[in-house]
């Protein structure tokens, strides 16, 4: 069976998605200064869902009405939004940002492994395993090896982050298996609608009535991470899923952390250290191994010389 690969178009979409999600950290940091984590997540899903409903209605796309598909939307919304967002909200209260980012990058490892188990055309080859390992090592180096000294799997906060990464990794395979036949805009709309329906009672229960009397900068941050980094991003998410498969899609998490570091350096003036460049180099090598085209070209040139 022909294995799923990453085309140049899919690589471009992966980079764009990682950039969008990498920039969302700044927006989320701004928003949570005024609203709680549950309220922040509710804003993230509900405004994105409303935007996509406008798109669906304008384009007269047909939304599914069967219980099975909406059940799949609920599961996908839980795996991709509600559960990991809530777990990470808990984790970030007790852990350093660098350590949380490393756990988040482990999504790629979970995603590739789960997809290899579930799908025959996404088996775990030696090259793919080596590429993921190099990419993950690059993220760890870029974020700082000192963060690994804080690893303690007995910590509930760290276990929460691991569980969040597992949910993200599982979501790609679930989406391909149960929602892969749907048009990307339909799939994203259904998932975000289901997420919003689940987040509303959780927000009211843990944080009370939702306030809409917010500062302009908070609304600007919410607008970015809901409309661009959620509504628009999940259109890319399902498009990449169709092109490259569930495991390859999860590689985006390896790109998010380095991009977030660069954005922090450009926007906030944070310093770039030698470890950042070393980590970026390892990440680039890992992605080159995963892609395979560079290695094939080098092998072909070597054979021609012989």
Residue 251 belongs to some domain of the structure: yes
**pLDDT (tens digit, 0 to 9) for every residue of the chain, 306 residues total?**
566 677 888 888 988 998 898 888 788 878 888 988 889 889 999 999 999 999 999 999 999 999 999 999 999 999 999 998 788 877 766 766 556 666 777 787 788 888 888 888 878 788 778 888 887 787 777 667 776 666 676 678 878 888 888 999 899 899 989 998 898 889 999 999 999 999 999 999 999 999 899 999 999 999 999 999 988 888 888 888 888 887 677 777 777 777 877 777 777 676 667 877 787 778 777 767 766 655 565 555 566 555
Domain count, the chain: 1
pTM attached to this predicted model: 0.77
CA distances to 21, 59, 249 from 4, in Å: 24, 30, 11
Residue 139 resides in a domain: yes
In a domain, 65, yes or no: yes
The answer as to whether 110 is a domain residue is yes
Query: Which residue, among 269, 242, 170, 298, has the nearest Cα to 6 in the 3D structure?
Result: 242
Residue 113 within a domain: yes
* Residue 203 token pair: 């927000």
Domain membership flag for residue 305 = no
DSSP 102-149: HHHHTHHHHHHHHHHHH-GGG---HHHHHHHHHHHHHHHHHH-GGGGG
Q: Is position 129 within any domain?
A: yes
Domain span holding position 36: 11-294
Burial class (CB in 10 A: 0-12, 13-18, 19+), 302: exposed
Quick one: which of 204, 292, 210, 283 has its CA closest to 244?
292
Instruction: Flag whether 6 is in a domain.
Output: no
């Amino acid at each position: 069976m022909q294995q799923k690969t990453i085309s140049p178009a899919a690589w471009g979409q992966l980079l764009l998605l990682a950039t969008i999600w990498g920039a969302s950290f700044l927006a989320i940091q701004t928003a949570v200064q005024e609203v709680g984590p549950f309220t922040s997540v509710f804003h993230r899903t509900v405004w994105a869902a409303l935007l996509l409903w406008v798109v669906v209605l304008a384009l007269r796309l047909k939304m599914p009405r069967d219980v099975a598909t909406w059940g799949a939307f609920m599961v996908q919304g839980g795996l991709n939004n509600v559960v990991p967002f809530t777990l990470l909200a808990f984790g970030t209260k007790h852990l350093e940002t660098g350590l949380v980012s490393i756990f988040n990058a482990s999504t790629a490892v979970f995603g590739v492994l789960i997809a290899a188990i579930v799908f025959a055309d996404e088996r775990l080859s030696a090259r793919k395993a080596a590429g993921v390992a190099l990419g993950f090592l690059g993220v760890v180096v870029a974020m700082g090896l000192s963060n690994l000294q804080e690893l303690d799997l007995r910590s509930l906060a760290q276990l929460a982050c691991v569980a969040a990464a597992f949910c993200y990794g599982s979501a790609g395979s679930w989406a391909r298996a149960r929602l892969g036949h749907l048009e990307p805009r339909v799939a994203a709309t259904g998932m975000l609608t289901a997420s919003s329906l689940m987040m509303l009672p959780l927000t009211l229960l843990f944080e009370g009535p939702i306030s809409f009397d917010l500062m302009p900068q908070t609304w600007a941050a919410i607008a970015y991470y809901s409309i661009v980094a959620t509504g628009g991003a999940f259109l890319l998410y399902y498009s990449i899923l169709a092109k490259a498969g569930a495991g390859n899609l999860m590689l985006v998490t390896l790109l998010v952390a380095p991009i977030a570091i660069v954005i922090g350096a450009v926007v906030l003036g944070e310093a770039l250290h030698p470890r950042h460049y070393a980590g970026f180099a390892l990440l680039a090598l890992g992605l080159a191994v995963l892609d395979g085209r560079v290695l094939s070209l080098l092998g072909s040139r070597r054979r021609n010389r012989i």
